[in-house]
Amino acid sequence: MKDRTVRLTTAQAIIRYLTNQFIEIDGQEWRVCGGGFGIFGHGNVTCLGEALYGVQDRLTLYRGQNEQSMGFAAAGYAKTWLRQRFMFCTASAGPGTANLLTAAALAHANRLPMLMLCGDTFLTRLPDPVLQQLEHFGDPTLGVNDAFRAVSRYWDRITHPAQIIQSLPAALATMLDPADCGPAFIALPQDVQGWAYDFPEEFFEKTSHRIRRVSPDEDEVADAAAALRAAVRPMIIAGGGVQYSRAVDELTVFAETHGIPVVESIAGRANLRADHPLNTGPIGVTGSDCANTIAAQADVILSVGCRLQDFTTGSWTAFAREAQIIGLNAARHDAGKHRSLPVVGDAKLGLTALGKAMQGYAAPADWTEHAKSERAKWDAYVSGNVARGNRPNSYAQAIGVVNSHCDPRDRIVAAAGGLPAEVTANWRTLDIGTVDVEFGFSCMGYEIAGAWGARIAQSEREPDKDIISFCGDGSYLMLNSDIYSSVLTEKKIILLVLDNGGFAVINKLQNNTGNESFNNLIADTPTATSQHSVDFEAHAASLGAAAETVANSAELSEAFARAKASDKTYVIVMTVDPYEGWTEQGHAWWEVGTPHVTDSERVRTAHLEWESSRSKQRRGV
C-alpha cells in the first residue's frame, strides 16, 4: 500500500503538528502547546503567519509588544502550568529574534519549556546579504540564531522540510523531560519556511503525551535512607521541583511522618502553607533567621527538586561543612552537587521510596521543637516588619497589606531587584503553588510580562482568581508594555508599582560594600541633570489600565479592594523609602566580588568584613 501523504509547506507542517499534540492533566485533555506569542516581520509573517492564520481557533496567537517580554510571558505560563504545557514564541529574523535571548536564558536557568520558532536568513544565500543579516566573512553559516545554542536545551536549523519529522518530536520530548526540560529553539530560514514537501499523514495524527516519572535506583535510595536514619538534626530543602513533580502531598507526608523540618528555596516557595508546623521558612541570602539557623545546625540535609543556587546555599556557607547533603532530583547534574549523595529520580516516587525505607524513624523531638521555636521567633519579626506604624513606606508594608487582603488562591509574582528578597522573607503562603518569585535568572521586566503569561494560564483553570505582581520603578521602566497586552486581551492583572527612585537594592549593595552611591538612584546619577519624576499612574492609564496613586499603607489597603473588584488591569503606585524599611534579618552570606586593592578606607574595611565569612564556605564541585 502506498503511504498516504499531504503536501504542505514547512511552516504549515510545523503548525499542524503542534495542533495535534495533547496531554492529560487531572483527567482533562489539553493541547500541550497552549498557543503562542508573536511579533511578525519579514522573517516569519509570510509563511509562518500564513500557517497560523488558519488555526486561530486551535492555537491562540497573542500579539506581543516586545520579543523579550513574549518570552517572559511564555515562562510565566509554563510555571503556572507546572511545566505540563508550554507556549511558542515566534520572531522575525535579526533583532526580533535576538530580543528573545534573555528570555531563553531565563527559561534555561529555570528549566522551563518554551518553543522558539524564529526566522533566519535564506538557505540558498542568493539574496545575501539580506536586511538585518550579520555577515561573518569566514563562516557564512554563522548568524544571530547561533547565539541561542548557549541558552537552549534543544537547537536546530531546518535546512529541508523533511527535517521537522525528526526535529519537532525531539524538541517536544526535551520540553517535557523533567531532567532536560528547557527551551527549544528552531531556526527557520525564510525560503525553507515556504518550501513544500509530501509529509506522511501519520506524522500529524493526534498524539497524547505523558511526562516521564523516573524511579530512583534502589541502591541510591538505600544509601540516602541510611544517612537520614542516622541523622540527629535532619532537614529538608523543598525546591521548585517538588511542585513540578506534583509531589507536595508526598513531601508533606514524608516530613510529618518523620518529624523533619522543611525549609523552602526561592523557587520552592509555597510548597507548604505558612501555618504548617514543619514549615521552617525560606532559606538563604533572601531567607529567614529560622531556616538559616536550622540549616547551619543540620547534620543531614535532603534537597528535593532544588538546584542549590547560591541564594539558597548562601554561596555554600549556609550549611555546616561536615553536613551530608542528599540530592533527590530528576536531573543527574543537580542531584550530585557538592558531593551530595545522589538519588536521581522523580520527587514523588523518590519521596515515597525513601519513606518506605525509613519506616520507624523520627527525628529527635527536641530538634523538631527547636525548629518550630525558631519559626515562631521569625513570625514575630515578620509581623513587626510588615506593620504600618509611623515608619516610612516600605516594600514589607505593601507586601503585608496584599497578604492580608488577597484570596488564598491568588498568584503572587515578583522578580529581580529588591522585591524578591522582600516577598520571599515576608510573604506568608496562603495556599500551595501560589508564589512565583523569578530569581533563577533574576530578570528585571519579568514582573509584568510574566504576570500576563501567568494570567493567560490561570484563566484556563481558575479564571475567578487574580494575578498580583509586585514591581519596582526600575523594572517598570525597563519593560512595561505588557500592561497594554493585558488590556488588549482582557487578561486582568493587579500591579503594585513601588517607587523608590531608581535601583535602590543595588544602591544598598553598593553602600554595604563601602562604595558611595553612584548611578543607581536617580538622585545619585551624575548625568541626570534633571530630577524629573515619572508619573506612573498617568503612564499606566495611557496604556488602558485603571490606575491610582496612594500615599501610604492605609490608602493601599483601600485601593487594593478596588483593584480586586475591578474587571480590568489595575495599577497601584506607592512611593517607598530607598534607605529605610528593608528586611534586615534573615540573610545568609553572599559572595560578591569586592576590590582587593583600593584607595578607599571604607571599601577596604568592607572588603575585609565581607571576606571574613569565607571560612565557612564549603568546598565542592
Report d(CA 436, CA 480) in Å as an integer.
18
Helix axes 419-426 and 395-405, enclosed angle (nearest 10): 50
Question: In this structure, which amino acid lies at residue 205?
Answer: E
Beta bridge partners of 301: 235, 325
Sign for the CA dihedral angle at 175, 181, 183, 185 comes to negative
Q: Are 318 and 325 in contact (CB under 8 A)?
A: no
pLDDT of 176-235, one tens digit each?
Answer: 999 999 999 999 999 999 999 999 999 999 999 999 999 999 999 999 999 999 999 999
pTM, rounded to two decimals: 0.97
Query: For the segment 500-531, what is each residue's pLDDT rounded down to a tens digit?
Result: 999 999 999 999 999 999 999 999 999 999 88
SS3 content of the chain, % helix, strand, coil (to 5): 40, 20, 40
The grid coordinates of residue 102 equal 534573555
pLDDT at 1 > cutoff 60: no
In the 8-state DSSP scheme, what is residue 144? G
155 close to 183: Cβ distance less than 8 angstroms: no
CB atoms within 10 A of CB 300: 22
The values of phi and psi at residue 171, to 5°, are -65, -45
Provide the phi-psi class of 570: left if phi over 0, else alpha when psi is between -120 and 50, else beta.
beta
Directed axis angle between helix 365-386 and helix 395-405, to 10°? 110
DSSP-derived 3-state class of residue 235: strand
pLDDT band at 389 (very low <50, low <70, confident <90, very high): confident
Distance of CA 164 to the CA centre of its chain: 29
Q: What is the DSSP letter of 502?
A: B
Tens of pLDDT, residue by residue over 340-387, are 999 999 999 999 999 999 999 999 999 999 999 999 999 999 999 999
Query: Own/partner pairs for 513-517, CB < 8 Å, 24+ apart?
Result: 513/592, 513/594, 513/603, 513/606, 513/607, 513/610, 514/594, 514/600, 514/602, 514/603, 514/604, 514/605, 514/606, 514/607, 515/600, 515/602, 515/603, 515/606
Evaluate whether 170 touches 154 at the Cβ level (below 8 Å): yes
Write the pLDDT tens digit of every residue in 43-102: 999 999 999 999 999 999 999 999 999 999 999 999 999 999 999 999 999 999 999 999
pLDDT at res. 339: 87
Percentage of residues of the chain with pLDDT beyond 70: 99
> pLDDT tens across 403-459, in order?
999 999 999 999 989 999 999 999 999 999 999 999 999 999 999 999 999 999 999
Say what the pLDDT of residue 621 is.
55
Give the count of beta carbons closer than 10 Å to the beta carbon of residue 365: 9
Residue 159: phi, psi to the nearest 5? -110, -5
Helix (H) / strand (E) element for 294: namely helix 289-297
Q: Residue 98: which H helix or E strand, with range? A: helix 95-98
> Under 8 Å CB-to-CB from 504, ≥6 apart: which residues?
417, 418, 472, 520, 521, 578, 579
- pLDDT value at position 390? 78
Backbone angles phi, psi at 443, to 5 degrees: -100, 115
DSSP-derived 3-state class of residue 102: helix
Full set of structural domains in the chain with CATH: 5-209 (3.40.50.970), 218-377 (3.40.50.1220), 387-575 (3.40.50.970)
CA end-to-end span of the chain: 57
Q: How many residues does the chain have?
A: 621
CB neighbour list of residue 461: distance below 8 Å, 6 or more residues apart: none
| pLDDT for the residue 3 | 81
